[in-house]
Every structure is written in structure tokens, then in C-alpha cells.
Structure 1
Amino acid sequence: MKKRGRKCKNTEEQRDEEHDPCSIIALELKVEILMKLLPESIARLGFVSNHWSSIIRGKDFTDLYQTRSSSQPRLLFAVYRRNTQKHFFHSCSQEDPSSDHSRVSYTLNSDLRYCFNPPIGGFIFGRNGTKAIIGNPSTGQFVSLPRVKTNRKNIFSVFGYEPVNDLYKVLCMTVITKRGSQSFKWEDPFYEEPMTEEHQVLTVGPKQKWRMLECKFIHRHHSGSPGICRNGVVYYLASLNDEKSLVSFDLRSEDFNVSKLPEDYILQQFGNLVNHSGKIAIVCHGYSGPMDLWVLEDATKEEWSKFAAVIPSIKDIYGNDQKVMFCGILATGETILAPIPSPNPFFFICYDPKEKDARKVVIEGIGDDSAVIRVFFDHVESHMVLPKVR
């Protein structure tokens, strides 16, 4: 039966090639042509025939495309316009944001506004309450994930990629409150401190469901600081025994671990997790003033190094007294600051602490008076098509 099925499949492929005017073109030339197309065009071409699908979704072409995209990381802007209830994604070159632009749109339900995690491998995860989606901003394809299994409203989610088995996973945690806990310093015995209760994970793929996990660390995640993924491990900040700590979740073994943070008051109160040149780092920066950057040099030994830089305010640079939000650090060492609320036209500030030089980067066509804009770094374009999850 298997041989017969394979024979039929080969016959279909042969028929495709016979009717394909491109069949006489050498494979190397086809690949060269594909590499010049936009991700959305490549994805659509994969549905033309089995022959094109076998090339586009084959490992050789996928690895080649991924390698090129990884060497040309992009900025990704997740834009939500409240007046139209619409999300769209805008990407541009990370080296020269004014040189190369692309945009895709995704219409949301009128009553939903998704919060997106940092993109991984070309895909991005968004959640609104228990509803979740995953999509490819480069092609505009988004699919719904199963609802998170909980009745709680306070949910924290982290999106990551496990390279050994080539799997994308989502970790979600929900919280409850504990009354009168003696392990906290607040004097009010009726203070309700939220603590993480349910831990569940979803492997992105057909017919996958949320699975409950055990975690031996009783902690409270910090929803204001998004998690990040590095080398198959997702990291997020949490309070453990009344101290801010770094929690890691290995996507392959699905085990949790905790690392202590340096004993620094500013870090404990204001630190946010960032990706700094491929390393896990915590930045401490208010709306103005100096910035402290703590870089995790060795997770096993819990060794951190500290860098400090004085970041000028927007008023000092442009005479406009506007609050800014720290967004991240480019591989060049430049710090990115975005105004709050999102201006129209939208712009952000690139500041080089070494040269003490600041430049304003304007992104045309994405801002309006109702827009809420979030900036992501090191976005990798992908032509891959997501399978239907449900």
C-alpha cells in the first residue's frame, strides 16, 4: 500500500512538472529567483504545485533563506489603531530604517486588542485574555491557537523556539492571590499578593493542546517586563521570596530554574529584561536620567557585569519635553528610546553612549492620533506557512 501511494504521488509530481513552464529551468536558477522574491510571494508560490512546494518547503531552501534573513535583521513595529480596531505590522531595515519598508495588515475582532510577545524565527505570538494567535508578519498569515485553559484573567505568556526538535512553544502562567502571607513585608494583613498558580505549555502544531506543568518555585511573574528567548530557553523576571529573580524555562526539558540577581536596589525596583548582543541583560532606566545595564555573563555561576551610561532626555536633544520608553539595544550598541504616547508621525531615538550622539529616526505612514506602537528588534523575515492548529 505504501509503495502504491508513493507511485501515485510521483505521478502527480510528474504531471505538475509537465504542465509547469518553469520545469526546464535548472534548480539552482529557481532557487536564485526565489531568493529575490518577497516572503509573501514565496509562500503563495508554494501552493502552485507539488514541485514548487517541495523546493520552497524543503530543508535546503529553508536553511538558505533563514541564514540570509538572520544576517539581515529588521525592525518590526506592531501597530494598533484604536479608531479602526486594526493591527498591522511594519518592518524596515535595522541598519538603515529609511531605506526599505514593508507592511502587512491583520484585521482583529472589534472587541479584541492583542498583546504581542517579541518575534522568534519570523513568527510572533499574541494574546488577549484566553484567546491566542500566532502569525508570520512577513506573509500576513495568522492562525488561532486553542484557548488558554483557565478561568483567571491575569495571564502571563512567553513565546519561544526549541531548535533541537524544531518546535515553537508558548508558556502561559496564571495567578491567584494569597491573603495574610507572612513571607511578604507589607503590614496590611489583608493585602493580596498575586502568585503564579497554573503553569501550562502549548507546542505549536496540528491538534496540539495546552498541557499543565509542575513548577517547584513559588513565584510571581512581572507582567510589565516581557520574556525573551535565547538558545531554546525562555527567560522572565519574577519575585521569589520577596526578591526579584531571573526565572528560566527550558523549552526542551520543560524544567524551570531560578537565578539570583545582583543586590542592587535600582535593579530590584526598576529592572527590565532585554536582549543585548545575544546575551541576557537587565536594564534600569526611568523616563530620563542614567541607564544601568546588567549583562549575564555566566548563568551557571550567576556572574553579572555592569555598564552605565547617561541618556539625555528628548528635551535636551530636541527641546520637546516628552516621556520616552526604553525599547532595547541594537548590536551596534545604540540604545533605542520611543516617545510615550506614540507620536504622529512616529519616530524613535537612537543614542550611542560611546559617541554621546543621538539621532532621530522617523517612520512614515504608521502613526496617527489613535495609534499604539511597539518596537521589536532582530526580526527575521520568514516565508514559512503555519499549519492549521485546530
Structure 2
Amino acid sequence: MKPSRHNVSEDRQTILRRHSRYSLPIPIDLIIEILLRLSLKSIARCRCVSKLLASIVVRPDFTDSFLASSLARPQVLFACRKQNKNDVMFYFSTPQPQNPDENSSSIVANYHMSFPFDSLSLCSAVSGFVCIEDLRIIKGSKTPRPVWMICNPSTGQSFTLPKMESRKRIWIRCFLGYDPIEKQHKVLAMTWGHTKAEDHQVLTLLGGTDKLAWRRIECSIPQYGSPGPHNICINGVLYFKAQANRSSNGQDIIVCFDVRSEKYNFVKVMKRVVHPAAALVNYNGKLASVISQSPSHYIFDTTRSFEMWVLQDSEKHEWSKHIYILPPLWKHISGGQNLYFVGVTGADEIVLCPKSLFREPFYVYYYNLKRGTIR
């Protein structure tokens, strides 16, 4: 029996040697085509398979092709907080329907990642990355201090940003922006005194986390008030709400931060545009603000309409106002839930979502701006 097993082993080795001698290597173009069909999480795993695959997935031409392919298949990202003895943040995503007439009942939410937190708030999300703030009690301190993290839900990766050095640390706010020309993510941070932004710093997200460092920048635009969670990055410009002076009746503005040049500008607005309940959204590549016309400024079963203000010319501070009427059966559709504006899809549909995710079943509502219908 031993000689037969030995002969079989020799035959296999002979076949393998003969196969490797005459087989041709797979062309790089074919490898790229195969990788482009994989999910981002699978591509991240490929970096650990071999040096060849690791070198391919970081090539600029590959990342450009993968980004273009991903933009053609947009996703809706859900950040779900579970608060009990062990507070956890979960990330899910679902395909964004491109055809308003298609049946959305078959859409399934895909789980990406989760991580524990102490007291967490979502700061901003852009181009696949999410910036979050977590209040943690660090060793040697009795009071919690803010810690900022960058997460990539598609790959399940996350890392903590370095501590921001500042002379005044009364309060800090961070925003995440993306420059589509240089293809760089940057974090904008500013310290606030009692009412005014004072120290402005920028951090560029590089390939690794060992060289991350904050850089101070100049800001010639006074910013007062407390910037809320509503911010958005459109075509390399980061927008968020503020006031131009200290007075309680001062001029409301939307601050514009160019991610590439790291320069500030601003746009004058009406108070309704920067109301705490107004959501900043991307409407066909333009900045827009959406708010309900109900007294509470949110969407309820009794709400009849909402308005959208679209920025037409930032230099002339020109806005256009549009009013949209909810269908008569809306009060039977919403089920008595309190809904919030969370974005606009590429098919010109306003997305509304409940504030709480603990209710089952959980629904997301799409209002078609052209047809005036809801699904």
C-alpha cells in the first residue's frame, strides 16, 4: 500500500509542475475587472492575500474606477443606536432605488459593523466615511472629554483622530469634508468660546493613521451661535449653519468651507433656512434646505406641506422657494410617527425617516418631488 500512495503523490506533483510550467499569468486588466465586481469589504480583505493584490487596490486608476462603479449603485446608510447596559452603534445599508416604480419590498438591509460607545453623536458623513463624536472618560480624568472617530462602514474599519491641541477647549465641533479633485477627505474642527468660533484647524486623512496631524488655518468670517448637527458636503464644499454677529437677532448665514483650498465663505439666508428643524440636503448638486410648514416644523400625520429653499447663486445670496403638498392619504400612511428629513435621492425623492429605530416594523418614506407621491 505504501508504494501506491507514494506513486499517487508523485503523479500529483508531476501534474502541478507541468501545469505551472506552461500556464500563463492572469493579465492585470483581467484581475482589475474581477476586483471591480467585488464588494468593498471583500476588496479590503484582498489587501491581505498578496502583495500583488495589495498594490492593485491602492492604484489611483483602480480607486477611480471603483468609485465610479459605486456611485452608479448608491446606498442608503443607517446608523442605529442601541442604548442599554452596553451602548452600541450599528451600521446597515440598503440599495437606493433608482426607479420610483420598482417594488421596494425585496430590499434587504446589509449589516456592516458595530462598536461600543459612551455618549455618541453623529457629526457628518461623506463619500463612504462617517465622523462621530464620543464622550469618554480617559484614565486620570474624572470628566468625559470628546473623542472623534472616523468609520468606514463598508470595510468595518475605524480609527480615532489625534487630540486637537488648542489654547481654549471650551467646546469643539468637527465636520468631515471630501475634495473630489484631489480625492482627499479632510476634517474641519473649530473651538468655540461662549458664543464664537475661535480656533480653526484641519486634518487630512491619509492612507495610514500614523502621520495624522492638525494644522491651523485662518478664518476671516466671524461665526457665532452653536452649530448644530446639520451639515453637508457638496462638490468639495462643506456647508453648515451659523450667525454673522453676536446679536440674538443677527444675520443668519450658512458657512461655506472649500475643502481643497481650505478657504471660508458664507451665504446670507432667511431664518427658516437655518432653523434647527431644517435639514441641509443635496438637490441635484445644489445646496438646499428642507423644512415642514407645520407649527412644529417636523413631519407628522397632520402635516399638509413642506418647503424647500434651493441656493441658486452663492455670490448674490439668491435662493428659490418651492412648496410641496403631501398627498391626502398621508395621515394614514405615516402611522402617527414623527418624521425627519434626511436627504434626497438621485431620483429626486425626499427621504423621511423616524427619529427612533426601536419601533417595528421600521419604515423609510420617499416623497417624489415631481409626482407628489409617497412610497
Which band: TM-score by shorter chain?
A: 0.7 to 0.9
CA contact (8 A) 1:160 1:234 kept: yes
**TM-aligned CA distance change 1:358 to 1:209, over 3 Å:** same
TM-score (norm: length of structure 1): 0.75
Q: Does 1:287 align with 2:287?
A: no
In structure 2, what is the equivalent of residue 115 of structure 1? 122
- Deviation, structure 1 residue 133: 1.2
What SS does structure 2 have at the residue aligned with 1:148? Answer: coil
In structure 2, what is the equivalent of residue 274 of structure 1? 281
Distance 2:105 2:232 in 1: 23
CA contact (8 A) 1:76 1:91 kept: yes
Paired residues, what number? Answer: 321
Distance 2:55 2:105 in 1: 34
Q: Does 1:91 align with 2:93?
A: yes
In structure 2, what is the equivalent of residue 191 of structure 1? none
**Gap regions ≥5 residues in structure 1:** 1-18, 178-193, 360-390
Amino acid at match of 1:329: V
Runs of 4+ in 1 over 4 A off after TM superposition: 312-315
Q: Does 1:148 align with 2:164?
A: yes
Distance 2:39 2:307 in 1: 40
**TM-aligned CA distance change 1:132 to 1:170, over 3 Å:** same
Amino acid at match of 2:289: I
Amino acid at match of 1:355: R
Distance 2:164 2:237 in 1: 21
Amino acid at match of 1:357: T
Identity percentage of aligned residues:
34
Q: Does 1:240 align with 2:241?
A: no
**TM-aligned CA distance change 1:106 to 1:320, over 3 Å:** closer
Distance 2:205 2:289 in 1: 29
In structure 2, what is the equivalent of residue 351 of structure 1? 367
**TM-aligned CA distance change 1:225 to 1:295, over 3 Å:** farther
What SS does structure 2 have at the residue aligned with 1:253? Answer: coil
1:226-265 to 2 correspondence within 5 Å?
226-241=230-245, 242-261=250-269, 263=270
In structure 2, what is the equivalent of residue 48 of structure 1? 49
**Gap regions ≥5 residues in structure 2:** 1-19, 98-103, 136-145
Amino acid at match of 1:93: P
What SS does structure 2 have at the residue aligned with 1:24? Answer: coil
Distance 1:337 1:277 in 2: 18
TM-score (norm: length of structure 2): 0.77
Residue in structure 2 matching 1:302, options 303, 308, 317: 317
What SS does structure 1 have at the residue aligned with 2:55? Answer: helix
In structure 2, what is the equivalent of residue 38 of structure 1? 39
Spell out, residue by residue over 1:307-363, the C-alpha distance to the aligned partner (whole angstroms, 9 max, x if none). 11123699613373222111122222222211233322321211224433222xxxx
- Deviation, structure 1 residue 78: 0.9
CA contact (8 A) 2:179 2:235 kept: yes
In structure 2, what is the equivalent of residue 326 of structure 1? 341
Task: Kindly report the root-mean-square deviation, in angstroms, between the aligned alpha carbons of the 2 structures.
Answer: 2.7
Q: Which moved more, 1:315-324 or 1:194-203?
A: 315-324
CA contact (8 A) 1:336 1:349 kept: yes
